Structure formats: C-alpha cells, structure tokens
C-alpha cells in the first residue's frame, strides 16, 4: 500500500499500529490517518527478510570472488 500522504510528504516510514489501525506517526501526533500500510510486525518481518537476503547475497559474492581467484 502507498504511504499515507502526510508521511510521504515528510519522508517518514508509514508503519501501521497493529492495535489502532493508524500509522505510528499519526498516533504520535494525534493526526487523521488514511494509512493502509504494513503493521509493525509485518514491517519487522520484511526487515528480517531483507537482512537475510543481503547476507545471502554477500555469501554469494564471496564465493564468486573465491572462484575468480582459483
């Protein structure tokens, strides 16, 4: 889902609060929210997957470098 226009304008991560169904920034500032982005737990899952893929890529690059040296 696209980030809430207020968050996008301020270049903030638009993470929806799981209990309130509003993004964390709008909860913090008590602003009106039309967000429909990922919840905090979904965001954490996405970040973990991104780190895992990055580590996998680094391992593959290291293997390529070893093969080139051979």
Q: What is the pLDDT of residue 17?
A: 66
Residue 33 exposed, middle or buried by CB count within 10 Å (0-12, 13-18, 19+): buried
Q: What is the pLDDT of residue 15?
A: 75
Determine the Cα–Cα distance for residues 14 and 62; give it in Å rounded to an integer: 35
- Can you say how many angstroms the Cα of residue 27 is from the centroid of all Cα atoms in its chain? 18
Confidence of residue 64 (pLDDT cuts 50, 70, 90): very high
> Over 50: is that where the pLDDT of 1 sits?
no
Task: Please write the tens of the pLDDT for every residue from 17-63.
Answer: 666 677 777 778 887 777 666 667 888 899 999 999 999 999 999 99
Considering only CA atoms, which of 26, 20, 19 is closest in space to residue 3? 26
């Amino acid at each position: 889902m696209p980030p809430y226009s207020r968050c996008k304008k301020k270049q903030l991560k638009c993470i929806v609060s799981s209990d309130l169904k509003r993004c964390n920034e709008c909860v913090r500032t008590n602003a009106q929210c039309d967000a429909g982005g990922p919840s905090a737990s979904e965001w954490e899952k996405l970040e973990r997957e991104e780190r895992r893929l990055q580590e996998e890529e680094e391992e593959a690059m290291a293997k390529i470098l070893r093969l080139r040296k051979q």
